[in-house]
Copies of this chain bind each other. A is one copy, B any other.
Amino acid sequence: MQRLIKGLIQKNNTKILLVVLDGLGGLPVDGKTELEFADTRNLDELAEKSACGLHIPVSIGITPGSGPGHLSLFGYDPFEWQIGRGVLEALGLGMGLKKTDVAVRVNYATIENGIVKDRRAGRIPTDVSKKITERLQSKIKKIDDVEIIFAPGMEHRFAVVLRFSEPLPRGSDSIKDTDPQKEGNAPVPVTPETAEARQVARVVKKLISKISDIIKKEPQANFVLLRGFAQVPDIPHFEEAYGLKPLCIAVYPMYRGLAKLLGMNAPAITGDIKEEVDFLKENYNNYDFFFMHVKKIDSYGEDGNFKAKASKIEEFDKALPDILGLNPDVLVITGDHSTPSLLRGHSWHPVPVLLKSPYVLGYTCKAFSERECLKGEFGIFPTVNLMTLALANAGRLKKFGA
């Protein structure tokens, strides 16, 4: 998709605003979905005159993680660009990543005579594990030529980034997890699964040995288990792909991290929907593309809290007139995947979307909901095409062929 678009990009002064209500789509409880239950008078009014539809982030029937969900929204093929666990974990802990990095998720563990007794070191408190991790960082800064960066996490978890001086060949992150998955086993030795991964594996072995020397006297966290080795993908930047200057407006570090991977400006902000809208307004003149991310709708879905999810949608609905006041040329409101409270997790269900622009049919839907969006002019379509629709409606795509 991006390859096709690249030759068609033309610049102009339009502004595109993509609002991602994380986990937006839902399923009925007592006959109504969260969107149908919520009082969304502003969204409904907007949906009526917008182009609506439902999009499929990865493939029919496939439940997307947050990574593939967002990459698709940004027009990146989620099969071509898979972002590994270690990278997502590091992004989630607020680490800035470079293309020469390999990121890993790490657990503190308790080991006795070479056997893992507790894979989570008794779930030690976050403040304890944070101090240990800071100690590790103070004592380990480099291994050979490779910079080592630690990021403390919750309880027994943290992340490590190995920053090489040069980009690594593909496949350099094919290293087996050292976590044996079951207590009573020895940790899995550091095992490269490709020839390319040997270089990284050598550094990892030295790292584990150094860490072990430093923490071996700890009562619980006396060893580490590594999982999800992942290189940072050499992914084209958003501006280069679309000719848009992008701003990410997100409270949660992982989404900012993902945006930064794509070269978006993504300053750290705090607060909630109101603060995000304020931030949008303050920066409205300085960018062409805005990715505004509202996390809590998904969180309540994951909790199985139908009413709280609906309330959070209502809160966004109340902020909508303020956003519309900016009069963006193209406004897209959607989610990165569905998170029905009924399922307490991400799901495979297509995600409702509305696109406001002067160049739509409109008046095929009466409200913004899963069932009304079925009647929309976009039909059911792959998420990866949504960015193309935004660009087209912004007049930023030339004709294909003569």
Contact = CB atoms under 8 A, between A and B. Distances in A.
Contacts of A400: 58-59, 62-65, 68, 78
A363 to B, nearest CB: 7
Contacts of A319: none
A184 interface: no
A4 interface: yes
Given A58-B400, A59-B400, A88-B402, 11 more contacts: A27-B359, A27-B361, A28-B361, A60-B385, A66-B401, A84-B402, A85-B402, A228-B402, A340-B359, A371-B377, A380-B381
22 contacts: A8-B62, A27-B360, A28-B362, A28-B363, A59-B400, A60-B382, A60-B385, A61-B397, A62-B400, A63-B398, A64-B399, A64-B401, A78-B400, A84-B402, A88-B402, A343-B359, A348-B397, A349-B361, A350-B377, A364-B371, A374-B379, A379-B379
Identify which of A79, A349, A379 gathers the most chain B CB atoms within 10 Å of its CB. A379
A5 B397 CA distance: 33
B381 A60 contact: yes
A62 B361 contact: no
A369 B6 CA distance: 32
Contacts of A390: 61
A308 B1 CA distance: 36
Contact of A342 (B62, B359, B401): B359
B59 A4 contact: yes
Identify which of A358, A371, A392, A399 gathers the most chain B CB atoms within 10 Å of its CB. A399
A309 to B, nearest CB: 16
A347 interface: yes
Interface string A367-402: 000110011011111100100111110000111111
A371 B361 contact: yes
Interface string A42-63: 0000000000000000111111
10 closest residue pairs by CB, A with B: A61-B388, A65-B401, A60-B385, A68-B401, A379-B380, A61-B392, A61-B389, A348-B392, A65-B402, A88-B402
A212 interface: no
A75 to B, nearest CB: 10
Contacts of A385: 59-61
Interface residues of A, number: 65
Given A63-B397, A391-B61, A364 B359 contact: no
Interface of A: 1, 4-5, 8, 27-28, 31, 33, 58-68, 78-79, 82-85, 88, 228, 340, 342-343, 345-350, 358-364, 370-371, 374-375, 377-382, 385, 388-392, 397-402
A8 to B, nearest CB: 7
Contacts of A63: 392, 397-400
A78 B370 contact: no
A62 B388 contact: yes
A1 B61 CA distance: 10
A389 B359 contact: no
A329 B356 CA distance: 39
Contact of A33 (B67, B342, B361): B361
Contacts of A62: 4-5, 8, 388, 392, 397, 400
A401 B78 contact: yes
A262 to B, nearest CB: 16
Nearest to A89: B402
Nearest to A82: B401
A5 B348 CA distance: 13
Contacts of A363: 28, 31, 371
Contact of A389 (B1, B4, B60, B78): B60
